[in-house]
Amino acid sequence: MEIVAFGVQSDEKPLIEKAFAGRHEVRCLDVFLTEDTAPIAAGYEAVSTSVNCGLGHRVLQTLAAGGTQLVAQRSTGFNNIDLEVAERLGMTVARVSYYSPYSVAEFAWTLGMAVNRRIVRAANRTRDFDFRLDGLMGRDLHGRTAGVIGTGKIGEAFTRIAHGFGMNLLGWDIAENPACAALGMKYVSKERLLAESDLVTLHVPLMPETQHLIDADALRTMKDDAILVNSSRGGLIDSQALVAQLREGRFTGVGLDVYEAEAGLFFLDKSLETVEDDTLARLVTFPNVLVTSHQAYYTGDAVGQIVEATVKNVLDYTEGRRSENVLVPRS
């Protein structure tokens, strides 16, 4: 079977080609799947997509018309795929339900510590041989409170690191994680978590119920000197409300690896273009905000697991098997 993979990063390409070698023919493209690029998939029974590809009804209809029957998403999230339309078109959709939770949890901590200890500002200064400490004062996290919103595998990994720092632990989720509770985590309401936490981190999926989970009211509930980290999905935070709070001088630091309107921006070089997203343009100007380009998952370990799971999803499809990764089964 011939497969076309969209949105493939240069570091990812050799891993994909090696994993599929001797099994199926794969064509790796660095362009993302959009309405404009969907015709490229004509004649390919399977397409593999990244989380920043857009698989709305028009794209799916184009894929189906071109003969595509399988969408193998190379991520855990799948909010970019219209599953109802895919099912109606008789397409099979699979994702990667699991990969290294440590990659994302460790990066979330990297963001939190970077804004707390003013690492970016310090690095920029020392490049100019400015070795002053003015404006670089951080604070110990030992003895302070970490609020973990979403305590699944990634949230648990983050909690274990917070426990190692000697932090007090608050959690919020639809179900308690016994492993987190064993570390001393107290499950409380979202409002209490936001009000009492010195560091708040988000590790929940994006769905209608969690869209703008951190809205204007939630942000106002947080401490003025809190640290907010989001390495999950951009739509969890109301970005305009966040800008409004930052303009009032709130928060010690905000670390964002994701952004709600990142499609068409993240993973691309826009350095020679005018970015028309005023909210993102404003966010990156705040000295206490660090924005990275959805790279929390991007370790060799995690990407390797994602690729292997994608290969398995394709093999399961061709051999008529169904696994926990299937979102829309083969009709």
Rounded CA separation 26/315 (Å): 13
Is there a contact between 51 and 257 (Cβ–Cβ < 8 Å)? no
Q: Which residues in the chain belong to E strands, given as ranges?
A: 2-5, 25-28, 46-49, 70-73, 92-94, 145-149, 168-172, 186-187, 199-202, 227-230, 253-256, 289-291, 326-328
Measured between alpha carbons, how far is 232 from 152 in angstroms, rounded to an integer? 12
Residue listed under structure tokens 């029957």: 69
Cα end-to-end span (Å), the chain: 18
With contact defined as beta carbons under 8 Å apart, do 104 and 296 qualify?
Answer: yes
Our answer to whether residue 262 is catalytic in this structure is: yes
Q: Out of 74, 233, 250, 260, which one is annotated catalytic?
A: 233
d(CA 87, CA 76) in angstroms, rounded, equals 19
Active site residue 2: no
Buried b (16+ CB within 10 A) or exposed e, 100-130: bbbbbbbbbbbbbbbbbbbbebbeebeeeee
Helix (H, G, I), strand (E, B) or coil at 237: strand
Cα–Cα distance between 266 and 252 in angstroms, integer?
A: 25
Question: DSSP state, 236?
Answer: G
Q: Which residue type occupies 65?
A: A
Active site residues: 233, 262, 294
